[in-house]
Structure 1
Amino acid sequence: MAVKEGEGCPFCEIVQRDDEDAREVYRDDHVVAFFPTDPAVLGHTMVVPRKHVPDIWSLSEEKAAHLARATVRLAGAIREAVHPEGLNLIQSNGEAATQTVFHLHVHLVPRWGGDAMGPIWPEETDYSEDRKDHALRAVREACRSLSSDV
């Protein structure tokens, strides 16, 4: 069952230190990082903004910058601590993308060959060139309104 914004948000409880079972690893003025209850692999860490933000479309660029900096720093800490062979960053938005807690979060998932995660991409897709070109044109058009100062 998906947990929606506001009351009962388990990540807000962690941010407010109301979850005594939380395995918090990092906290600053902008984010909190913790181990999920059921990690995909050991060292799996989640980073959340301290302010409730349901998804990436609700995230300001300023808060995104804080989240990105913390994510990079935590990736380095995970590398130092558990020595993975690789790392997945996973950030899902909406039920169709498997978001189940509607408080924006980034998963840092250390990876090793043969680990419990398995592959995260389909082995093959079957999109026609016309469909790929249509998607390309639509995204390019949407990007025209973006600022180039990023």
Structure 2
Amino acid sequence: MHPAAQDRDLPEEPADGGPRTAVTCPFCRIVRGLAPAQVLRDWPDALAILPRGGGVTAGHVLVLPKTHVPDVAADPQVSAATMRRVAELAAEMGDCNVISSRGAAATQTVPHMHVHVVPRRDGDGILLPWTPVAGGSRRPGPDRRPWSARPAGR
């Protein structure tokens, strides 16, 4: 059991009969010590863990708040506190990508806000959707218009 989870009780069943987040959310389970994870950093408000399978490159870290929020937009205060922890790690890494996805179309697979901090080096071969490919073109994307030119909510 993760030390931060000792003596923590699971929350009561929600009044609406919905699932208990601490039981169903994989990251809440990690925070509460109910699921295994390699914890790299433990702050009062967040954890830094090694992604399952080690991540896309050596040093890839996930930072997640201890409070359950479904995505980066759900609670600005929790997101801001988590990003502070991300900034602390990024300052130690040097070149890196900082990525948080919101929604399935943006590749979010776990409904608990989390941020990938991925160390980068020249020639590492990691491609992002907007990475230029051979010939100077970019990989295709769904909508390259500026945010100001897109319909509301997209």
TM-score (norm 1): 0.71
Kept after mapping to 1: 8 A contact 2:98/2:116 = yes
SS of the residue aligned with 2:62?
strand
Deviations, residues 80-107 of structure 1 (Å, cap 9, x unaligned): xxxx5x2000100110000000100000
For 2:20 and 2:105, the matched residues in 1 are separated by: 17
The within-5 A match list for 1:1-150 is 6=21, 7-20=23-36, 22-38=37-53, 39-59=55-75, 61-77=76-92, 79=93, 86-121=95-130, 123=138, 132=145, 135-136=147-148
Deviations, residues 116-150 of structure 1 (Å, cap 9, x unaligned): 422441516699xxx947x52568x99xxxxxxxx
| Inter-CA distance 62–125: structure 2 relative to 1 (3 Å threshold) | same
Deviation at 1:5, TM superposition (A): 8.4
SS of the residue aligned with 1:65?
helix
For 2:72 and 2:20, the matched residues in 1 are separated by: 13
TM-score (norm 2): 0.69
Deviations, residues 13-59 of structure 1 (Å, cap 9, x unaligned): 11112223x11111112111101012100100001110111012212
Structure 2: gaps (5+ residues): 1-18, 132-137
SS of the residue aligned with 2:82?
helix
Considering Cα pairs closer than 8 Å and 6+ residues apart, tell me whether 1 or 2 has the greater RCO: 1
Aligned residues: 127
For 1:119 and 1:90, the matched residues in 2 are separated by: 10
For 2:149 and 2:127, the matched residues in 1 are separated by: 33
| Inter-CA distance 58–113: structure 2 relative to 1 (3 Å threshold) | same
- Structure 1 vs Structure 2 CA RMSD: 3.0
- Structure 1 partner of 2:12: none
